[in-house]
Amino acid sequence: MSFLVLGGCDNNSDEVIVYTTVDQIFSEPILKDFELETGIRVRAVYDTEETKSTGVMNRLIAEKKNPQCDVFWSGDPVRNGVLQSIGITKAFQSDQTDLIPAHFKEIDNHWIGFSARARVLIYNKKLISADSLPQSIIDIIHPQYKAKFTFANPLFGTTTFHVSAIFATWGDEDARQWMNALRDNELVIASSNGDVKKRVMNGEVAFGITDTDDAFEAMKESSDVDFIFLDQQAGGIGTLIMPNAISLINGAPNSGNAKLFINYLLSSKTESKLAISCAQMPLIQDTDIPGDLPSLDQIVPMKIDYKLTSEKLAEIQPWLKQWLEK
């Protein structure tokens, strides 16, 4: 395979160290396949569901002066952007990175996207009909949805990304008003996206916002659950698209193997595996996908500035903590 010769090897190590926020059930098979195909051992550090996307990021920050990690594989690019801003990532360009559309990678390739998810509204068909659902995130604050809606703690995981993108798109004042209106409408705060899925499936709430992989899992587990994409109407802000993001760590102890691993992820073969295992939508053209998987071409995307969203993520953390405590 071409990606196995790109990047070169500048050390004699037989391992690569990967920190990842992606659920172990989906990321570990990819890591195992890389080991089998290359003979390079993968040492992986995974985030927990409760500290999703923050645990390994904080570990990378703590290790900045003495890097222990080679590659950061995140479920979204905003953490990679935070790490780039403080000098923890390193630019990496190869033929494989050229396969990814420009909007889904950092301009100097400090992070490169692949295999995207989207934020969706999942709902329990026994509790609410499809024609009664909100069509926009703005609609959720309406009185008829009081105490019927959930999303995950906005300090963690892709909910942080989503909220940061809303702040970056709408501006602080409008975003804060929306968040306060959600709280006043008795939004149920779940512990994680998986908890959102469970609460909707169990009928504790009528609907919630989570990611497409959780939505597909819910539909496999219960015929009572379905999902929709929000803000697809004319004038809507669109659905947030969240690519995985891969970054080379500055000062990586096994940089040669790290580049081989990055190129391995940036392939149609890997994107096809993630499409099958967790309903992720490929970014590389002509990748084979299951027939029931939505195409990015069919979704009106939220137009966001990933760099600004990364900056906003760090900026709004104190306010979000106060919001949660009210």
> Could you tell me if residue 223 is inside a domain?
yes
As a whole number of angstroms, the distance between CA 96 and CA 263 comes to 6
Co-location of 217 and 284 in the same domain: no
Give residue 39's region: left, alpha or beta (phi > 0; psi -120 to 50): left
As a whole number of angstroms, the distance between CA 184 and CA 160 comes to 20
Co-location of 267 and 230 in the same domain: no
User: For residue range 224-283, what is the model confidence (pLDDT) as tens digits?
Assistant: 999 999 999 988 899 999 999 999 999 999 999 999 999 999 999 999 999 999 899 999
Co-location of 112 and 255 in the same domain: yes
How many structural domains comprise the chain? Answer: 2
Co-location of 70 and 173 in the same domain: no
Co-location of 287 and 192 in the same domain: no
Co-location of 25 and 165 in the same domain: no
Co-location of 318 and 194 in the same domain: yes
> Could you tell me if residue 309 is inside a domain?
no
pTM: 0.86
Co-location of 229 and 176 in the same domain: yes
> Could you tell me if residue 177 is inside a domain?
yes
Q: Which domain holds residue 174?
A: 117-240+314-325
Instruction: State the CB neighbour count (10 A cutoff) for residue 12.
Output: 7
As a whole number of angstroms, the distance between CA 87 and CA 79 comes to 13
pLDDT at 326: 83
For residue 286, the one-letter residue type is D
User: For residue range 93-137, what is the model confidence (pLDDT) as tens digits?
Assistant: 999 999 999 999 999 999 999 999 999 999 999 999 999 999 999
CB 154 within 8 A of CB 320: yes
Co-location of 66 and 121 in the same domain: no
Co-location of 223 and 153 in the same domain: yes
CATH of the domain at 228: 3.40.190.10
Burial of 189 (0-12, 13-18, 19+ CB in 10 A): middle
CB 75 within 8 A of CB 115: no
